[in-house]
Amino acid sequence: MKNQYRTNLCAEVNESNIGQKVTLAGWVNKKRSLGQLVFLELRDISGIMQIAIDAEVSPKLIEMVAKIKNEYLIQIKGDVVLRDKETVNEKLKTGTIEVRAEEINVLNEAQTPPIYVDDADKANENIRLRYRYLDLRKPSMQQKILMRSRLYRIVREFLYEEGFHEIETPFLNKPTPEGARDFLVPSRVQPNKFFSLPQSPQLFKQLLMVSGFDRYFQIVKCFRDEDLRQDRQPEFTQIDMEMSFVTGEEVIDVNERLIQKIFKEILDYEIVLPIPRMTYDEAMSRYGSDKPDLRFDMQLTDISSIVKDSAFGVFTSVIKKGGSVRGMNVKGGSDRMIRRDLDRLVKVAETYGAKGLAWIRYTAEGMISPIAKFFTDTEKDAILSALGAEEGDLLLFVADKHEVALTALGQLRLHMADVMEIERKGFVFVWITDFPMFEYDEEEKRYFAVHHPFTSPTEHSVELLGKEPEKVRARAYDIVVNGVELGGGSVRIHKEAVQEKVFEQMGFSKEEAWEQFGFLLEAFQYGTPPHAGMAYGLDRLCMLLVDTENIKDVIAFPKNQNHGCVMTGAPTYASAHQLEELKIKTIKVDENDD
């Protein structure tokens, strides 16, 4: 780091430098005066160094420092000395030393910042995003972005050592009908035609396998025009990879070791391999989610066989229509929840599609519930036994279609973990496997791929295509940690005939399939190797590593909830000349729709 501006970074200086002269440069973090002594905190990317100016030694410097404000950019030269014992700051890496200034140069002045450049700053998010360059000066924000940079290096080094090749794929692609909404880019050279920005490099990485590159990876920007949440952005980053002549087992093996290395090097956290596995059906049945948080128990139980002949018509009618009744035991919940709280839980269940929620408080007096009177003593005992109920427990039930009952209770499970303040520490990983290949869309009256249409069905499922699509299982695998899907992948289809069958199952005619994906189907005619791959949401991984719930914290320049950059003002209107060149006319809309 030695150059004309500095000999060291602030936090690089330590007790071994005592007695040496150093030159430092950075921003003034704080200033305080103690009569004849003035102290500055100098901040750079590495940390903070205390600078001492003695009026008796340097009266001119004292006059100069009086004009210096926070966030001035300065250069100082001086001697490294040991601090007095009573002034040691154990919170700072450099807290035992300081630099006695002999010379100070103002490199640039600064106006009073509109936000405090301090980790304790409470400015609202829009103000922070408006002045993101100041927000990013905060030590905590810089550490998050620097961790992200470190993650890039770890991933690249690991994959290079595993024989992967880093290859870029195009950003200007052909729009496709599957997946989320595309961002479209108009072509000036070919009027009325559009490119799309990639939602993933999926097809191109498969074509790289056709090309014989064997092992590909890329840390790549992807784009989805979808509504935002705390863990979503319109542009995001993937760790993307593909491998030829492999099975899913080999992809899982490489990725387990990659994740193990990342968590060890960044958090010094040891992940024990192999990571456990759970089928999709098991995860949904036990936890009501295909990304279960396994840091706590509270599993779901099917009590349909117990209550199918009961006098409670709500339960029996659902079972007769092919649905099920699922229950969950909230340990100790009976004593924590009063009637008003239970009424609120009904609203939570309805939010996730359930038509209602039944509950039983199990106390020393027995079952307390509006539905208890509908069950015989035998049925009551069987319910309590099935759910492992003890005095003080709260039992919750949803009766509905299987998917609705499971999903609603799965969300209630997470809600009750918060209500009961269940401790959730550490990281619990699991692979979810054997996903359904398709899901049926009632509105469009056709099947869609659960992952994507290039995922291979299992060997025993191929014959079910066109016959019983709901039973087709995919050779797909997701890695989940603490209820978060960290990444996912699959064995891909590598034969034209199978790919055409999948498109047909999704409602594409042969002509439509070739019109949309002909380049891929054609490539499959020229000796495509078996291949499989994986992709991670790098932003989501960073969130996990720095323990934040907001994806904006780990992206240098994120967008806000309206897909906008409040710092630059993007998106903005194109000029009349630009629109004319693109042969585009705009439609006037109400400004309030923005």
Radius of gyration of the chain (CA): 30
Does 352 fall in a domain?
A: yes
Whether 305 and 329 map to the same domain: the answer is yes
In 3-state terms, what secondary structure has residue 67?
coil
Whether 94 and 21 map to the same domain: the answer is yes
Picking from 385, 419, 453, the residue at the C-terminal end of a domain is: 419
Which residues, including other chains, have CB under 8 Å from residue 434's CB and lie 6 or more apart?
A: 279, 280, 281, 458, 473, 474, 476
Q: Which domain holds residue 218?
A: 121-270+529-594
Predicted local distance difference test score (pLDDT) of residue 589: 81
| Alpha carbon distance 252, 258 (integer Å) | 10
Picking from 371, 402, 419, the residue at the C-terminal end of a domain is: 419
Q: Average pLDDT in the 256-274 region?
A: 98
Whether 581 and 509 map to the same domain: the answer is no
Q: Whose CA is closest to 342, among 352, 330, 353?
A: 330
Span 578-592, pLDDT tens digits:
999 999 999 988 766
Predicted local distance difference test score (pLDDT) of residue 124: 94
Span 66-115, pLDDT tens digits:
999 999 999 999 999 999 898 899 999 999 999 999 999 999 999 999 99
Predicted local distance difference test score (pLDDT) of residue 57: 82
Residue 23: enclosing H or E segment and its boundaries?
strand 21-34
| Alpha carbon distance 554, 560 (integer Å) | 14
Does 522 fall in a domain?
A: no
Does 562 fall in a domain?
A: yes
Instruction: Look at residue 185 and tell me whether its pLDDT is greater than 60.
Output: yes
Which residues, including other chains, have CB under 8 Å from residue 363's CB and lie 6 or more apart?
A: 334, 391, 392
Query: How much is the mean pLDDT over the chain?
Result: 95
Predicted local distance difference test score (pLDDT) of residue 593: 55
Indicate left, alpha or beta for 6 from its phi (over 0: left) and psi (-120 to 50: alpha): beta
For residue 124, give the amino acid letter: N
Whether 336 and 384 map to the same domain: the answer is yes
Span 514-539, pLDDT tens digits:
999 999 999 999 999 999 999 999 99
Does 74 fall in a domain?
A: yes
Whether 159 and 302 map to the same domain: the answer is no
Predicted local distance difference test score (pLDDT) of residue 193: 96
Predicted local distance difference test score (pLDDT) of residue 34: 87
DSSP state of 580: H
* 130 phi, psi to nearest 5 deg: -60, -40
Whether 215 and 236 map to the same domain: the answer is yes
Which residue pairs from 151-158 have beta carbons closer than 8 angstroms and sit at least 24 positions apart in sequence? 151/262, 151/266, 151/538, 151/541, 151/542, 151/545, 152/219, 154/261, 154/262, 154/265, 154/266, 155/217, 155/219, 155/239, 155/258, 155/262, 156/219, 158/257, 158/258, 158/261
| Per-residue confidence band for 339, with pLDDT thresholds at 50, 70 and 90 | confident
* 296's tokens: 């706590």
Percent of the chain's residues with pLDDT above 70:
98
Does 524 fall in a domain?
A: no
Predicted local distance difference test score (pLDDT) of residue 55: 87
Report the domain count for the chain.
4
Predicted local distance difference test score (pLDDT) of residue 373: 96
CATH of the domain at 104: 2.40.50.140
In 3-state terms, what secondary structure has residue 431?
strand
Instruction: Look at residue 179 and tell me whether its pLDDT is greater than 70.
Output: no
| Alpha carbon distance 515, 520 (integer Å) | 11
Picking from 66, 83, 108, the residue at the C-terminal end of a domain is: 108
The reported pTM is: 0.93
Whether 172 and 145 map to the same domain: the answer is yes
Indicate left, alpha or beta for 282 from its phi (over 0: left) and psi (-120 to 50: alpha): alpha
CATH of the domain at 349: 3.30.1360.30
Predicted local distance difference test score (pLDDT) of residue 36: 86
Does 545 fall in a domain?
A: yes
Q: Average pLDDT in the 480-493 region?
A: 97
Whether 405 and 304 map to the same domain: the answer is yes
Whether 369 and 476 map to the same domain: the answer is no
Instruction: Look at residue 59 and tell me whether its pLDDT is greater than 90.
Output: no
CATH of the domain at 166: 3.30.930.10
Span 384-410, pLDDT tens digits:
999 999 999 999 999 999 999 999 999
Whether 245 and 148 map to the same domain: the answer is yes
Span 340-380, pLDDT tens digits:
889 899 999 999 999 999 999 999 999 999 999 999 999 99
Q: Average pLDDT in the 217-221 region?
A: 98
Whether 506 and 549 map to the same domain: the answer is no
Whether 440 and 508 map to the same domain: the answer is yes
Does 3 fall in a domain?
A: no
